[in-house]
Chains A and B, each alone.
Chain A
Amino acid sequence: NAGVTQTPKFRVLKTGQSMTLLCAQDMNHEYMYWYRQDPGMGLRLIHYSVGEGTTAKGEVPDGYNVSRLKKQNFLLGLESAAPSQTSVYFCASKTGTETGELFFGEGSRLTVL
């Protein structure tokens, strides 16, 4: 019972490089989210998706793109990485009910030099 799986778990990039983080969930959840976590700032929403083929901007979307071509996968892309994007990234998913529990992956630690 995998739940929410994120790959890779760690990555180091140079400024200007691109990369994609993959999130996969096996719970048939409609909603998926990408957050970033920085010290003292809690979790901030980057992008989210309410279903296959849909995406929307969250609180801090600049510099990121996402895609949800399959219901179970939610990809987060950085086209040109910047040091300000050094962070821990978390993917989460939930059912469509308003008060449904968020299930989180274990995080992807990204360092941009």
Chain B
Amino acid sequence: AQSVTQLDSHVSVSEGTPVLLRCNYSSSYSPSLFWYVQHPNKGLQLLLKYTSAATLVKGINGFEAEFKKSETSFHLTKPSAHMSDAAEYFCVVIPMGGGATNKLIFGTGTLLAVQP
């Protein structure tokens, strides 16, 4: 069965330090992977996506993620956190053949806190 696991429910960093949000997936085939961000009282917004092209994917606001098939991981990173990065982040996997219907699989989210 396909699944996605976000390894940390909460992450706290200081402003200006690196951010690492971890995501592991389980999929029989090479999946498409997404990171979405949700700011308080807002809907989710796409940060970046991997769709079998370059394994290092750059997104908005300085975020990037690397697809590592051997580790079944798609961790999200940013070199230097900003106060505005405080939000909840969701890793999403779309197994092959599942994108258009109901088979988008959401992780349970990682709440990122940024301390001044």
- A contact residues around B99 at 8 Å (CB): 97-100
Q: Does A78 contact B (CB under 8 A)?
A: no
Q: If A4-B43, A42-B109, A43-B90 touch, does A102 touch B100 (CB 8 Å cutoff)?
A: no
| Complex contact A90–B44 (CB within 8 A) | yes
Q: Give the complex CA separation of A100 and B101 in angstroms.
A: 12
A-contact 0/1 string along B61-83, CB 8 Å cutoff: 00000000000000000000000
Q: If A40-B9, A41-B108, A42-B107 touch, does A96 touch B49 (CB 8 Å cutoff)?
A: no
Contact partner of A56 among B34, B43, B101, CB < 8 A? B101
Q: Give the complex CA separation of A57 and B96 in angstroms.
A: 20
Q: Does B87 contact A (CB under 8 A)?
A: no
| Complex contact B100–A50 (CB within 8 A) | yes
Contact partner of A104 among B34, B44, B108, CB < 8 A? B44
Q: Does B12 contact A (CB under 8 A)?
A: no
B91's closest neighbor in chain A, by CB? A42
Q: Which of A56-72 contact B (CB under 8 A)?
A: 56, 58-59
Q: Does A82 contact B (CB under 8 A)?
A: no
A95's closest neighbor in chain B, by CB? B100
- B contact residues around A48 at 8 Å (CB): 101-102
| Complex contact B9–A90 (CB within 8 A) | no
Q: Which of A15-72 contact B (CB under 8 A)?
A: 31, 33, 40-45, 48, 50, 56, 58-59
| Complex contact B102–A42 (CB within 8 A) | no
Q: Give the complex CA separation of A40 and B111 in angstroms.
A: 10
Interface centre among A48, A58, A98 (most CB of B within 10 A): A98
| Complex contact B100–A31 (CB within 8 A) | yes
Residues of B participating in the A interface, judged by any CB pair closer than 8 Å: 9, 32, 34, 36, 41-46, 49, 51, 90, 94, 96-102, 104, 106-109
Residues of A participating in the B interface, judged by any CB pair closer than 8 Å: 4, 31, 33, 40-45, 48, 50, 56, 58-59, 90, 92, 94, 96-102, 104-107
